[in-house]
């Protein structure tokens, strides 16, 4: 049977309240009594429930995190960044997904009501933003990660530079002489899709090469939309010498369609993605892409929440971590190094 606080109290001949005070460092106790209680705790090997101790102190030392699904390829990097910070500061993480829709949200809501965590990190599941805003307004500390540029009110957030990242992709393609890019976009309802589209097309327009609408293809961030979209463009006779896909999965599908058509990458068609998920460095050829600072975003969001727990106000402006550009062999022919 596990040792309980009652066992400690009985052995030390004190009340359970006295044992609790010793554990939590609360209240004035005779030092000899406190020493006796600590000795009994050591002798019995009593380990207090971290949840019980946390509740006694008014804090669970647990952070909640709500995400759409763990199947999204970049969520693992964000999650790892947050966990690295939380574990270092001896916090736990309670993870929620929305894989089962309303049922998942009901379970999440029950944990919110039970005050199972001190604050919440959110990669917004679609359709939940108003609910999250309400929780924040009622006093739950919330930090959004990759807020998709349509947050209500003043919810603290951590994001990246989608517009300038896409602009960097456009400038790179122009520098290597690609004037007829094909774009495979993300879902229109996402703010990041609009930012990436505007950032890319603006650079081409400024360079005197506006992109006609026929070369802007709809997509949904999947491999299939890149594969099917580029195949249909080829069948329709649309001429292009480059592809900018709004994420790396779509770029992977686009590359396959190009190679299936007998064209070479990058000699005939240069391909650029967005995100820099781990697989991007291992495609054939390796994928040039806009690097989202995914792990850094998770770290920054977790630090923001923990700083708030220690008394710092939550920021009223988004924290923006710049995207960078990673050139690989899908746009530039690798140079042979002489032995």
Phi, psi of 275 (to 5 degrees): 125, -50
Would you say residue 56 has pLDDT above 60?
A: no
Q: What percentage of residues in the chain have a pLDDT greater than 90?
A: 65
In the prediction, which pLDDT does 257 show?
98
The confidence score (pLDDT) of residue 49 equals 59
Beta bridge partners of 96: 66
Rounded to the nearest 10 degrees, the angle between the axes of helix 248-260 and helix 223-235 is 40
**DSSP one-letter code for 142:** E
CB 71 within 8 A of CB 130: no
DSSP 8-state code for residue 335: P
What number of H helices and E strands is found in the chain? 12, 12
Asked if the model's pLDDT at residue 24 lies above 80, the reply is no
Is the Cβ–Cβ distance between 330 and 279 less than 8 Å?
A: no
pTM for this predicted structure:
0.80
pLDDT band of residue 148 (cuts 50, 70, 90) is low
pLDDT grade, residue 60 (50/70/90)? confident
If pLDDT is split at 50, 70 and 90, which confidence band does 57 have?
low
């Amino acid at each position: 049977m596990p040792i309980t606080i009652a066992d400690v109290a009985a052995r030390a001949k004190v009340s359970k309240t006295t044992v609790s005070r010793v554990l939590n460092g609360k209240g004035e106790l005779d030092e000899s009594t406190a020493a006796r209680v600590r000795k009994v705790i050591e002798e019995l090997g009593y380990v207090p429930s971290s949840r019980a101790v946390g509740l006694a102190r008014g804090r669970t030392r647990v952070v909640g995190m709500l995400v759409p699904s763990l199947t999204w390829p970049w969520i693992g990097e964000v999650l790892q960044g947050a966990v690295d910070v939380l574990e270092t500061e001896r916090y736990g993480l309670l993870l929620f997904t929305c894989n089962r829709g309303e049922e998942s949200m009901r379970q999440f809501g029950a944990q919110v009501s039970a005050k199972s965590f001190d604050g919440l990190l959110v990669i917004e599941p679609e359709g939940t933003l108003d609910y999250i805003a309400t929780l924040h307004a009622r006093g739950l500390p919330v930090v959004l990660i990759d807020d998709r540029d349509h947050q209500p009110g003043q919810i603290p957030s951590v994001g990246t530079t989608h517009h300038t990242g896409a602009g960097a992709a456009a400038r790179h393609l122009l520098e290597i002489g690609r004037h007829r890019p094909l774009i495979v976009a993300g879902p229109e309802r996402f703010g990041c899709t609009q930012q990436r589209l505007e950032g890319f097309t603006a650079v081409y327009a400024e360079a005197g090469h506006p992109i006609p609408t026929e070369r802007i293809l709809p997509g949904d961030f999947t491999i299939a939309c890149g594969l099917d979209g580029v195949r249909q463009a080829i069948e329709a006779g649309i001429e292009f010498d480059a592809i900018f896909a709004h994420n790396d999965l779509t770029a992977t599908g686009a590359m396959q369609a190009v190679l299936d058509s007998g064209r070479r990458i990058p000699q005939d068609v240069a391909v650029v993605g967005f995100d820099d998920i781990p697989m991007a460095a291992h495609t054939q050829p390796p994928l040039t892409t806009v690097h989202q600072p995914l792990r850094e975003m998770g770290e920054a969001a977790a630090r923001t929440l923990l700083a708030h727990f220690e008394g710092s106000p939550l920021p009223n402006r988004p924290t923006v971590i710049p995207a960078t550009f990673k050139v690989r062999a899908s746009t530039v022919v690798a140079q042979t190094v002489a032995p």
